[in-house]
Amino acid sequence: MATSAPAAASRSLHIPSLDGVRACAVMLVFAAHAFAQAGVTGVLPGEFGVTVFFFLSGYLITTLLRLEHEQSGAISFRAFYLRRVLRIFPPFYLVLTVATVLWLVGGLPGGPRFQLDGLLSQGLFLTNYWVILNGWFNGHAPGTWIFWSLAVEEHFYLLFPLVYLLLLRFVRGRGRQALVLAGMCAAVLAWRLALVFAFGAGKDRTYVATDTRIDSILFGCILGVFANPVLDRTRIDHATWKFILVPLALLGLLASFVIRDPWFQESVAYTVQGICLFPLFIAAVRFSDWGPFQLLNVAPVVFIGVVSYSIYLVHPSVLWGVQQWTSSFLPPVAQDAVGLAITIAIAYGIAVAVERPAARLRKRLSRALIPAKPAAPATPDPTPVAVAGRTARS
């Protein structure tokens, strides 16, 4: 039986249950880094938290582009890049600047020596390839190696609006568009396998490089295009989603964590996880009041999700600093608790002082740049074309 998509009358991309997903992802990453700093590794799959962020990013941004095209008949490249800059850059450069200054004046002691090219690589969103060439902990402020994932996303989104425009123009039907994106995911998997088996690449190469991780974002893009739980109907009944597809997805994720063979973890695991996230994301949106998904909408969880970006940016440097300054009198558990409290406080401050004003500006400028949908011509041509920084009907 077909069921309708959740109400989206306002066409807003604020989906409360996804704030909860952000919270779970960022706390998984935080906990894994806290454990690792205490010398306990391999217990928590912190890498999966990053994969969730990638998937979520691809899903939300593709949904935004799809809505824009459906509402206005166009996609404004200028509005897209403006939104991206105002969302990502202010907190990013603030944290990078403060962490680097603290490092240079001894506030983050015990780190590596300063390298200008290391700092420049971060400022230019090249941290991931710096890590591959120079190692995780060389040449930049302690904890700022976390910026590698921001580099992957920024590289991806430099081109994705054009890719999506080409799909709209040359590939008819959302199902076929999704198949094209799935083919790209398969190509990335094949490239990872080639790197591992033919070239002997190590984990860092396949884990942080843009060319080997963009499929984690593309999987989310596929959900934005096809079977979108906010915009599309489904022919799958509720019981199938809840009691068959969600449990199978959880089993698939468990297998991706348990199978520890290096070749699998460095190549196939990312694909398995991306596929398993489809039913989990769909269920989290469609059935947010069901069972464990209710926890995603609890106020403290939503709060962590709202400030998750800043938590992600600052927490490794905070954990490092707390350890360096308190290891002589605080046990690791207490250090982690102090680190968490400081991280949340800083993240909230950044959200209030930087993210919220930037979001208000982003909305005003974005509305000004997105064209209104033109009146339908007598002989409409549905093919979008690029015109003066946006797409418009010819």
Would you say residue 62 lies in a domain? yes
pLDDT (tens digit per residue) in 25-78: 999 999 999 999 888 888 899 999 999 999 999 999 999 999 999 998 889 999
pLDDT (tens digit per residue) in 229-268: 999 999 999 999 999 999 999 999 999 999 999 999 999 9
Would you say residue 306 lies in a domain? yes
Residue 380 clears pLDDT 90, i.e. is over it: no
Per-residue confidence (pLDDT) for residue 371, from 0 to 100 = 61
- Reference 253, options 36, 49, 9, 2; nearest CA is 49
Q: Which domain holds residue 252?
A: 16-371
Q: Which of 92-101, 122-131, 367-376 has the lowest mean pLDDT?
A: 367-376
Quote the percentage of the chain above a pLDDT of 70.
Answer: 90
**d(Cα 234, Cα 304) in Å, to the nearest integer?**
31
Per-residue confidence (pLDDT) for residue 163, from 0 to 100 = 97
Would you say residue 6 lies in a domain? no
Would you say residue 281 lies in a domain? yes
Residue 177 clears pLDDT 50, i.e. is over it: yes
Would you say residue 4 lies in a domain? no
Banded model confidence at residue 391, pLDDT cuts 50, 70, 90: very low
Residue 126: CB atoms within 10 A of its CB come to 20
Would you say residue 7 lies in a domain? no
Pairing of strands 384-387, 390-393: antiparallel
Banded model confidence at residue 95, pLDDT cuts 50, 70, 90: very high
- Inter-residue contact 259 to 265 (CB < 8 Å): yes
Per-residue confidence (pLDDT) for residue 122, from 0 to 100 = 97
Per-residue confidence (pLDDT) for residue 260, from 0 to 100 = 93
Per-residue confidence (pLDDT) for residue 373, from 0 to 100 = 60
**d(Cα 71, Cα 343) in Å, to the nearest integer?**
39
Per-residue confidence (pLDDT) for residue 372, from 0 to 100 = 60
Q: Which of 78-82, 296-300, 382-386 has the lowest mean pLDDT?
A: 382-386
pLDDT (tens digit per residue) in 101-126: 999 999 998 878 899 999 999 999 99
**d(Cα 315, Cα 29) in Å, to the nearest integer?**
9
Range 248-252 contact pairs with CB under 8 angstroms and sequence separation of 24 or more: 248/279, 249/276, 249/277, 249/278, 249/279, 249/280, 250/276, 250/280, 252/276
Per-residue confidence (pLDDT) for residue 112, from 0 to 100 = 84
- Reference 125, options 87, 164, 158; nearest CA is 158
Would you say residue 381 lies in a domain? no
Tokens of 169: 């123009």
- Inter-residue contact 51 to 272 (CB < 8 Å): no
The pTM assigned to this predicted structure is 0.91
Would you say residue 246 lies in a domain? yes
Banded model confidence at residue 14, pLDDT cuts 50, 70, 90: confident
Per-residue confidence (pLDDT) for residue 78, from 0 to 100 = 93
Total tally of structural domains belonging to the chain: 1
Per-residue confidence (pLDDT) for residue 13, from 0 to 100 = 61
Banded model confidence at residue 94, pLDDT cuts 50, 70, 90: very high
